[in-house]
Structure 1
């Protein structure tokens, strides 16, 4: 049956469990969270040794999974079987026969990372017909990240400003697992109920307000030549924290989006951000780039960045160091 992630979390908090869950889609964070929550909420710690089984798709098959699922619990209310990397089960469709006759005392969960069930086939149809759950976690886009960061921070007892949430999202992107890890570090630093400002984000995640790629993008967007070279010099002195391939990737993303932004018929911030799949916070720099660089120049800049990326990866000019690659690119962008 069709349920949402929020509904499942509420059910699990109330200790209500379905006999079978299948998770699919392109967002691994929620899938991992679902499997971890099932492992801890279905059984008490002392019950897990005999009643929790974790299998991996590449090492198992449908017959083994069904055999484990049909076991009776030992001194516990239920048996729990978690199958990770289930997209690698070669005969996964054979599990349809189990769906029709589940073991009532078992909770079986499968996680298909980067894959979805084929809705034309038997397993999906069986899940819809019987008391099983199939839930897909779609890929998270950059424009969804700030709101999620604020919500996650709140659930962790943190008071985070919208600017801080947007900054963390821009710095890391839509890597929810990494964002969650950074929030855990920040939580340990400020404590429960602590306030999280943009300054704390910069300090605790290793960002420098003045010398990072995001400040370089702002300087380039403003066509601030002196500041652009000042930031590039600082970044070049600390290549470990500022790998040029990462810088080039972010520059490419911003300038290519500026090119698309310039052609949008509706430049209302909310509409434009949705069209580009970014946050309104990130749109500010992109809009300014589009304002200060005409489309023909933007098109050339995108080409320059591609050339610099090839150089940084040792193609064409293997003896140019990263600092020289970035400085040469800045000259082409700014002049």
Structure 2
């Protein structure tokens, strides 16, 4: 069952006694936990009937005791177990889950991991409650997700603004949603989010960002690459090296993949690697021809080397901008 379906059921007060929320995409888990904590019970009911545990400090017996209490002045109570991935003896909740109280809604948030589906515990959760799995979106799913998210807030997004957001933030759904909220709050009567809005309220320059640096490297435009790095040097929060390198690695990994494709036409590359962006496919093909197989492989190896240096491996604390300048010169030479 999807997060949207679970929320729809909760809004019509259709509840199951146990919800297990797991997976490597925290956005949907946080969305469900937030709704459960603030909306299932009224404010007056929550004072007596909402209990929140945190996995690192929680005791399984205390959780079971809380779940077996009867609600006070309400039809039901809510018991939340957050960060359950850090809890010891978590499987000891199986006894309660196998025979839950109908007036208790137990919600367990198990982030960044998945329950072993072969265990008795997993089988009991599936039988007695709802097992929700939150999965990371693939890159080609991001544009539609962002557009739908923005439309759900009553706004629209220009193609340039959409690309700028995704290139800068990636598939961090929570951060994408937070940044869009920030922009919407500042738009006033405007209903369209454009590149200028992203630049002003998110703090992403449309001319000086990780995507533009990547494009300059792909074209062997040394002068432009150095100008962008100098901007980063003057604005350290604009694009830390630990944000730049993963974005560039994702792109050049795709460029490197071109050499293994059977169909290296623009349409073939678009279909295989850039399904939502024809121009990206064209530019990637251009970069592949400009650098060749060995050159692109060298770029990827240099990114790995400078990523290690940026976290202090074989480096005495060189500034980000100096590391980037040195890396770019080696890539283009």
1:169 maps to which of 135, 153, 166: 166
CA contact (8 A) 2:168 2:209 kept: no
2-structure distance, mates of 1:64, 1:196: 48
Higher mean C-alpha displacement, 18-27 vs 94-103: 94-103
Structure 1 stretch 63-72 or stretch 218-227: which is displaced more?
218-227
Residues 146 and 162 in structure 1, CA contact (< 8 A), matched pair in contact too: no
Distance in structure 2 (CA, Å) of the matches to 1:317 and 1:119: 44
* Residues 164-206 of structure 1: per-residue CA shift (max 9 Å, x gap): 2232121111111111110110110124771111332222211
Q: Greater shift after overlay, 70-79 or 187-196?
A: 187-196
Partner of 1:188: 185
1:135 Cα offset (Å):
0.8
Q: TM-score, normalised by structure 2?
A: 0.89
> Match for residue 89 of structure 2?
91
Residue 113 (1) aligns with residue 77 (2): no
Equivalent pair of 1:93/1:122 in contact (CA under 8 Å): no
C-alpha separation between the residues in 2 aligned to 1:105 and 1:237?
58
Assess if the C-alpha contact under 8 Å between 2:269 and 2:281 holds in 1: no
For the pair 1:144 / 2:144, whether they are aligned, the reply is no
Distance 2:124 2:315 in 1: 57
Post-superposition shift, 1:333?
2.3
Q: Extract unaligned runs of 5+ from structure 1.
A: none
Deviation at 1:332, TM superposition (A): 2.2
Q: Deviations over 1:222-242 (max 9, x none)?
A: 233332232223223333433
Deviation track 1:123-146 (CA, whole Å, cap 9, x = no partner) reads 22122333x101111223333222
Q: Residue 48 of structure 1 aligns with which residue?
A: 46
Work out the CA distance in 2 between the residues paired with 1:281 and 1:184.
Answer: 29
- Helix, strand or coil at the partner of 1:257: helix
TM-score normalised to structure 1 length: 0.89
- Mapped partners of 1:83, 1:138: distance in 2: 20
1:209 to 206, 211, 223: 206
Distance across 2 between alignment mates of 1:146 and 1:285: 19
Q: For residue 21 of structure 1, what is the aligned residue in structure 2?
A: 19
1:126 aligned partner: 124
CA distance, structure 1, for counterparts of residue 33 and residue 305 of structure 2: 43
What's the secondary structure of 2:56's corresponding residue?
A: helix
**2:280 pairs with 1:289:** no
Alignment partners' CA distance in 1, 2:132 and 2:232: 43
Structure 1 residue 84: Cα displacement: 0.5
Partner of 2:270: 269
